[in-house]
Amino acid sequence: MTKIKIALIQLNTGENVEKNLEDFRHFSYEASRRDVDLIVTPEVVNCITSDHKQRIKSSSTEQVERFLSVAKKISRESQTYFLIGSLARREINSEKCENRSYLINRIGNIVAHYDKIHMFDVKLSESERYKESDFYRPGGEKKMYPCDFGKLGMTICYDLRFPKLFSDLALSGAEIITVPSAFTQNTGTRHWEVLLRARAIETGAFIVAPAQTGEHGSTGRKSYGHSMIVSPDGEILLQLKQLTGVGVTEIDLKECGEARRNIPNLINQIHYK
């Protein structure tokens, strides 16, 4: 089994958890009807807010489990893998959350999770600043899981700017690397496509990047959209532009081996001082 079908879901998550859950359910079921092997969603599908009290409320165990229950049910019914790009989730009595990606197998079990390592602490302009470390705890471990179709490496959004994480995943055998994101309109316009294509070419892996899109309620934040799947040779196989929805494409994992044999940069690396 080298050819698999992947469904990208592009969402516009906001502050209303009930609406977010309904959109998540609607598009996930739509994806499951497309006879795919893997469904992937963007980052923080349960809530995007500038109010940390709202984030704390929406990231409770009970709220997180509602999204997980939908994904598990869909995986069982359609016998597909399901990657929830991430959920903001919180331990009881903690003042900070984890930005956690979940991988669910074909029978509805969580088989891997990954906590976002790199926090988006940036000043893009005088009026646009972000400091994720104020309300998220960073992870500290790379994650890869051997699915029945191939090895899948997990990253989240800002991780995209740190190529060593991607090369480490590729050196561990990852053939697909997921990059669920909520890339800002500002940075997305300039950097999203070129970074995704660069990581694909550098690693000889398929880059699967579902994204948030549009304005997120009253937060003042706007995401770039343009969810993509990129081949190991840097070709854009699927792109969703700026509307919410589902896109499906088939990939052939044999291309990973071919790309790495043709340009063996991963094994040609020289470690220098």
Residue 141 counted as domain residue? yes
Residue 212 counted as domain residue? yes
Selecting among 15, 72, 98, 116, the annotated active-site residue is: 116
* 85 neighbors 42 (Cβ within 8 angstroms): yes
pTM: 0.96
pLDDT tens digits, one per residue of 159-216? 999 999 999 999 999 999 999 999 999 999 999 999 999 999 999 999 999 999 999 9
Strands (E) in the chain, as ranges, are 3-10, 38-40, 81-89, 98-104, 110-115, 121-123, 129-131, 143-146, 151-154, 176-178, 206-209, 213-215, 222-224, 228-230, 236-239, 245-252
16: domain range?
Answer: 3-262
Confirm whether 43 is a catalytic residue: yes
Selecting among 47, 97, 147, 157, the annotated active-site residue is: 157
Confirm whether 157 is a catalytic residue: yes
Residue 202 counted as domain residue? yes
Residue 267 counted as domain residue? no
Report the domain count for the chain.
1
pLDDT tens digits, one per residue of 229-260? 999 999 999 999 999 999 999 999 999 999 99
Give the CATH number, domain containing residue 12: 3.60.110.10
Residue 134 counted as domain residue? yes
Residue 272 counted as domain residue? no
Nearest to 256 by CA among 210, 202, 196: 202
Residue 59 counted as domain residue? yes
Selecting among 15, 43, 98, 175, the annotated active-site residue is: 43
Confirm whether 18 is a catalytic residue: no
Residue 19 counted as domain residue? yes
